[in-house]
Every structure is written in C-alpha cells, then in structure tokens.
A = this chain, B = another copy of it.
Amino acid sequence: MASRAKATILDIAREAGVSKSTVSLVLQGSGLIRPETAVKVRKAIEDVGYVYNRGAANLRKAHSNVIGMVINDLTNPFFAELAVGMERVFQSAGIVPFIANTAENPVRQEEVLKSLMEQGVAGLIVSPARGTTPGAFRRLETAGVPVVFAMRRLPDSRIPVIAPDNHRGAYLAAAHLIGKGHRRLAFFGGTSDLVVYQERLGGFREACETLGIARRDVLIVEGETSRRGGIACLETALAMAEPPTAALCFNDAVAFGVMLALRKRGLEPGADFAVVGFDDVVEAEHYMPALTSVSVDTAGLGERAAHVMLKMIQSRTTRAEDHIGAVNLVVRDSCGPDRRARPAGMGDAA
C-alpha cells in the first residue's frame, strides 16, 4: 500500500494513467476534469498514500495558507480564549493557524517571527512581547506580510490593532470603586513599557481626577502581570503609611494574586480590601469571592482579528483600520464599600 520513497504527483499520474498536470488539476478541484477521471485519480492518490507537498506548491503559488499566531503568554488563559476565537473563523476558511509562544521574551519572539517568515506565512496575528523593539516588525513590513496586533500595540507603529477600550474599561472600574466610597485607590501590576498599561492607567487616573480623588491618595505599583506580580504589589501597598483600601489590577491574573495575598494576611477580599480585575477570564466568575472585572469579549476580539487578517490577505494590503472593542464592568463580589468611610457617614457627590 505504501511505497518506500515519498510519493509525488508523478507516481499518482503513472498509477492512474494520466499526466501530472491532470493530477494537479484534480488536487485543486478544478472543474476542467472529467468526473470519471477525477475519481480514478483520487483512487490512485489513496492507493499510493500520497501527501501533498505544500512547500513545493508555494514555490509557484503566490500565497500560502499558513497563518501564524504569536502570543506572549500561553499560560494566561486569556490568550487561550483569544486563540480559540481566532480558530473559529480560520477553521471555516479552511485555514489551520499555527500558534507560537514567545513567553514574553523579545529574543524568543524574534526567532519565532523569523521562523514563521521562512515558513512563508500568509499573515501574522501578534500579541507582542513586553519590551519589543520598534524595529522588530520591519522585516515583516518590507516583505509585505500582513500583520495585525491583538490586545497589545507598539508605541508608534502603523500596524493595525484589535484591542479593547482599555481607557474606558479602567475608567469604569475606578468609578465603581469610588462610588463604593473608597478614597485611597491603587493601580496594581503592569509596567510602563506596555502601551496597554498606559491606556489602563490613563483611564484610572482620569476617573480619580474627575471624581475628586486627591493625587496623593492614588498609589501606582508596577509589577509583573501575573499572580506573583499581584502578590508583590499588595505587599508593597500594605507596607505604606496610609495604605489604599481598593485596587484596580492590570489584569485578572494580578487580581488573583492580590486576593491570594490578602487571604494570607487574614484579610477578606471584598470586605477588607476591594479589588477589580481586567479581562474577565472565565476563572473570574468562579473565584472566591467572584472577581469584579472589566469584561472585554476576548473570543470576540479574536474573531475580529481573524476577520481583519483574512480581509487583508484577500485584498493584498498590509493596512487596515484599528478596532477598539466595547468593554463593560461585570460587578461580582470582590469589592465591598470602604470600611473606614462608612462609620463616618460620608455622603458621595456623584
């Protein structure tokens, strides 16, 4: 059934008694072939255990059918959700996306990008690693490979971005906290080299300012965007002379870390210290207490990114419009009112 060496279309041609061109046409589902011939060829294909060599085909064809997804942290369930959304739309387009993980490492990212390019990808959806240098995507650009950024963006690049409305999300979250009576607020996690960070922090700051929180009452603690980072942030904050009573976290992972650290100190998240996350990963709903978080419709953004990509490939362009997804605050149980404020019977302006 299977021959020693790899079978090629010539082997099939011989087996079926037709020319290689005919086999090629059948492979491409061309309507030019007489149905009976096609059947004969397909049988031969089956018989010799043929596997199509896409590399050889791409040598002649303009476009490959490979799309790469380059993700900065696969262990964050958030990105897995994003990937799932993308896969949904690529699947229906007959494309198998290849996922590669950069583990938040720009050097690794460089390798991944290089490898994907060499493979002849038709397009790339990327959530760039922290500390990506501005030139990292120049090669892609000059090669004319369509790229879209998902969730994260680079300081000043012309590459289209699909991301949630970070500013508004953070504003909503901070306003919620302030509405609950909190007057000393913190922003936990993330680092300023991330544009997303700037955006989220910006929304947070704007809320504080317009809703009358004094500048000296807001605390910013940078940190890793992981559970561990969250733990560290809380430690830092509680070591202050006048610690905050509530925090907006850069993302849910950080929020989980903060809740963990609170528990370890015998404090109850929600009651003793309010915490809000960002991204609303599925775990958020299931945590104890359930985490209030900014929902960004992750899978939807993934789908959107995939659609944009498909359109770019189709129209052979490397440009597209940005897309900012709507967000909304999902209120759960992780932020009670400010304990200290209550007994004083403070009224709130807004």
* A interface, CB within 8 angstroms of B: 1-2, 6, 49, 51-56, 58-59, 64, 66, 74-75, 77, 80-81, 83-84, 87, 91, 96-101, 103, 108, 111-112, 115-120, 139, 142-143, 227, 256, 260, 263, 283, 286-288
Would you call the interface of chain A mostly helix, strand, loop, or mixed? Answer: helix
Partner of A55, one of B55, B83, B100, B116: B55
Q: B6 contacts A143, CB within 8 Å?
A: yes
28 contacts between A and B (CB under 8 A): A1-B142, A2-B143, A6-B143, A49-B143, A51-B118, A51-B143, A53-B120, A54-B118, A54-B120, A55-B55, A55-B58, A55-B120, A66-B119, A74-B80, A75-B77, A75-B84, A80-B80, A84-B101, A87-B101, A87-B103, A91-B111, A96-B100, A98-B98, A99-B100, A99-B101, A283-B283, A287-B288, A288-B288
Residue of B nearest to A263 (CB): B288
Which of B56, B64, B84, B117 lies in contact with A59, CB distance below 8 A?
Answer: B56
Rounded to whole angstroms, the CA-CA distance of A96 and B101 in the bound complex is 9
When distances are taken between beta carbons in the complex, the residues of chain B under 8 Å from A287 are 288
A1, A80, A119: which has the most chain B beta carbons within 10 Å?
A: A119
Q: Which residue of B lies closest to A101 (CB)?
A: B87
Q: Are B96 and A111 in contact (CB under 8 A)?
A: yes
